[in-house]
Structure 1
């Protein structure tokens, strides 16, 4: 463990790590504060909140590919700085709208759209910058540390958001979130790097997208796992995030029981990050795919009406498996995809993985009303089991080595940060 933490001695990664930690903390506070703000407005309802969240989600999905092209064309640290500034403006704007009681839902809708655009720019750049900040042998430790900071921010941000909203109001909680994004930007400005490779020309955006698509589709293991997660995320969004609270409210004791179940998953995230920091499997995608079977037990136990403690154990296991998968997956992308295309490939990854998520949210209610909550959850479990098994049976996924047979691009020299 101590050896893995030495990556923090490297100044560019340390600044990136602190920036991501602050950004993730702000990202954990904002949704909770926004939810209570919208619900507390005159005429505020679940439908109103859904529209505001839809604006953010739609902007993020629609602009992800654009964000990938931008992050492969421009210095990624600068793209992240710009994206953070957009997030700061959007969340500070929401705080002002709420505190001044001006603009109402239309203003929040517009600002949520801007916030989604900032995320679409940030995610591909963040996915592509790490191999230019640390050497290849430290990628897995660096990914694990960032995942740990995300898990800690999820736990701490939820608690801090509750305190801020209760004590000072949702508008001031959003203002705190905006300040955290501003502080995150200050750390990013200290990361100065050069592009990993000179590009002979600046092609049109459609050419960039086509080249990124070629890089994405040429790797069977990559698009097979993305298809797997498009199904898993649809099942998890509908089965856990919608039907989970329904089961908790009907049979498990309400919000307090669901809080225990969700907290157990967050603890699992932390444990999974610690495990992922230490393991070095010969075939990382095989281990990562085996970890995805940890998504199945929560569906089954909720369907069977298991006691709270047993469901909490299953979500803790799910958290461990989720972070092991995420660390190995991120490291695999960074090692097997050329740095000059990494952000575009990551944007296709994100788009494909989450494109069916809204569909799961939209369909799970009507489906469960017809066939019942328990049968819907059982169907989610079966579907997850089938898609995980199919992915594991793929030779390209199962037999992908930990390192490419030939380097995808020149590695960053020790002690130097590089950027695209």
Structure 2
């Protein structure tokens, strides 16, 4: 009976997450396209992406602390209710004043929604870990990514066409309805609300963050993988701001933008279905290096391709290898990290990994307008190749083998000799 109840709660939890992912993907596409299309400048679309990155950078550590000490169900419900309020306000703005302050409104709305989703992100990770048996986590997490990928794929695919068919205001109203369903799903679930740690309310959040930081930097492979994540995110930031310009060069504006984004999500979806099983059969340390090499290769192909089909194919495979990297990374963190620190480690990793992205996007938007979007992508690929070199050269990254997952199944806390 308890297993059946746990499965029901998992389905409700996944349903809420799928709804949010679907709505956020639509919202991001719409805001990014509106900002870029106003003046046709990479800087404008970069500002929207920067707003998202800054919010994640600032809020992720706080979300990690909240995940370890708070009523997690209330946190998720509150964040999603506030997201509904933000979307409704944006809907009213575009319904009344369709073309006023598009870039500013897009930045502000993206910033606020990202804050709310980032606050609940580490909470969701810890809840998923508790709803799934340890030996099944890698596979379930892969399926979790696949389900999220489906919702993102559909959302991003629909967004461009909805924007062209029914306009901005009614597209936003559709997103609002989706978020309302997300609130209902999580409200009806019976997920654990008990904090992982029994810190008092007066306990210093700064001290808790410091504990998480000390734990992170004392695990060599976590530290070095985080450094490579920072480098790859710099490259990904250039692709993010370049996507609208690439779509415009290939033709058909928002529809092509949606197709490229759908290819990105579809690659992640396919990897999500098979990636969890694959991580149990490969030497993950070496795989990190090979995956970064492939990421750089597909980035170069995107930079030089003038064919929609070839570009979509390159985006698909780029997403596949990035998602495989993410599955391995998340499995390492969630399975091998002491349960008392999972939320904080997750939050710190998100924040630190994105540390350079706002600056990279701002610089990339400026440089891209000067030298062209394709030259910008070629230059940014150097960061991915540097990350690959680090993965191959660093002994701690190379030593993260699949048997460590088996070790984690038998032991709740990490006892790995490095």
TM-score bracket, shorter-length normalisation: 0.7 to 0.9
- Is the 1:75–1:194 contact (alpha carbons within 8 Å) kept by the matching residues of 2? yes
CA displacement at 1:16 relative to structure 2: 1.3
Q: Contact between 2:50 and 2:362, CA under 8 Å: does it hold in 1? A: no
Q: Contact between 1:86 and 1:114, CA under 8 Å: does it hold in 2? A: no
Report the equivalent of 2:59: 63
* Residue number among 408, 411, 415 corresponding to 1:407 in the alignment: 411
Secondary structure of 1:90's match?
Answer: helix
Separation in 1, partners of 2:190, 2:289: 34
The structure-2 alpha-carbon separation of the partners of 1:249 and 1:399, relative to structure 1 and needing over 3 Å to count, comes to same
Task: Return the alpha-carbon distance in structure 2 between the equivalents of residues 171 and 375 of structure 1.
Answer: 36
Aligned residues: 402
Contact 2:125 2:343 (8 Å CA) reproduced: yes
TM-score w.r.t. the length of structure 2 is 0.83
SS of alignment partner, residue 341 of structure 2: helix
Alpha-carbon spacing, 1:233–1:111, altered in 2? closer, same or farther (3 Å): closer
Cα distance change, pair 50–313 in 1 and its aligned pair in 2 (3 A): closer
In structure 1, the partner of 2:23 is: 26
Asked if structure 2 preserves the Cα contact closer than 8 Å seen for 1:64 and 1:351, the reply is yes
2:277 alignment partner in structure 1: 278
Determine the structure 2 residue equivalent to 1:95.
Answer: 91
The answer to whether the aligner puts 1:121 opposite 2:119 as a matched pair is yes
CA displacement, residues 215-245 of structure 1 (integer Å, 9 cap, x when unaligned): 221222112112112111111221x334566
CA distance in 2, matches of 1:388, 1:283: 15
Shift of 1:197: 4.6
Pairwise CA distance, 1:28:
1.1
- TM-score between both structures, scaled by the size of structure 1: 0.83
Q: Which residue of 2 aligns with 1:186?
A: 184
Whether the 8 Å contact between 2:139 and 2:276 is mirrored in structure 1 is yes
Q: How far off is 1:25 after superposition?
A: 0.6
Greater Cα shift, 56-65 or 87-96: 56-65
Q: CA deviation at 1:344?
A: 1.1
Q: Find the aligned partners of 1:17 and 1:7 in 2 and give their Cα distance.
A: 15
**Conserved in 1, the CA contact under 8 Å of 2:260 and 2:315?**
yes
CA 1:17 to 1:102, structure 2 compared with 1: closer, same or farther past 3 Å?
Answer: same
Which stretch shifts more, 337-346 or 29-38? Answer: 29-38
Q: Residues 100-111 of structure 1 correspond to what in structure 2 (within 5 A)?
A: 100-101=96-97, 105=101, 110-111=108-109
Unaligned 5+ residue runs, structure 1? 1-5, 411-420
Q: Which moved more, 1:228-237 or 1:188-197?
A: 188-197
- Does the CA-based 8 Å contact 1:228-1:387 persist in structure 2? yes
Counterpart position of 2:71? 75
> Do the aligned residues in 2 keep the contact of 1:77 with 1:188 (CA within 8 Å)?
yes
Query: What is the rounded CA distance, in whole Å, between the counterparts of 1:45 and 1:368 in structure 2?
Result: 9
Q: Report the CA distance shift for 1:232/1:47 in structure 2 as closer, same or farther (over 3 A).
A: closer
Q: Distance in 1 between matches of 2:251 and 2:108?
A: 38
148, 152, 175: which one pairs with 1:154? 152
Deviates more, 1:208-217 or 1:187-196: 187-196
Quote the Cα distance in structure 2 between the aligned partners of 1:99 and 1:348: 38
Please say if 1:134 is aligned against 2:137.
Answer: no
Task: State the match for 1:268 in structure 2.
Answer: 267
What per-residue deviation string (whole Å, max 9, x for no partner) do you get for residues 309-365 of structure 1? 444333222122122222222122110112222111111111121222222222235
Structure 2 CA distance, aligned partners of 1:261 and 1:89? 30
Listed one character per residue, the Cα deviations across residues 112-142 of structure 1 (whole Å, up to 9, x for unaligned) are 4432320221112122221111110121122
In the TM superposition, residue 261 of structure 1 has moved relative to its aligned partner by: 4.8
Q: Is the 8 A contact 2:228 2:387 kept in 1?
A: yes
What is the match of residue 207 of structure 1? 207
Q: Post-superposition shift, 1:210?
A: 0.5
> How far apart are the structure 2 equivalents of 1:233 and 1:83?
26
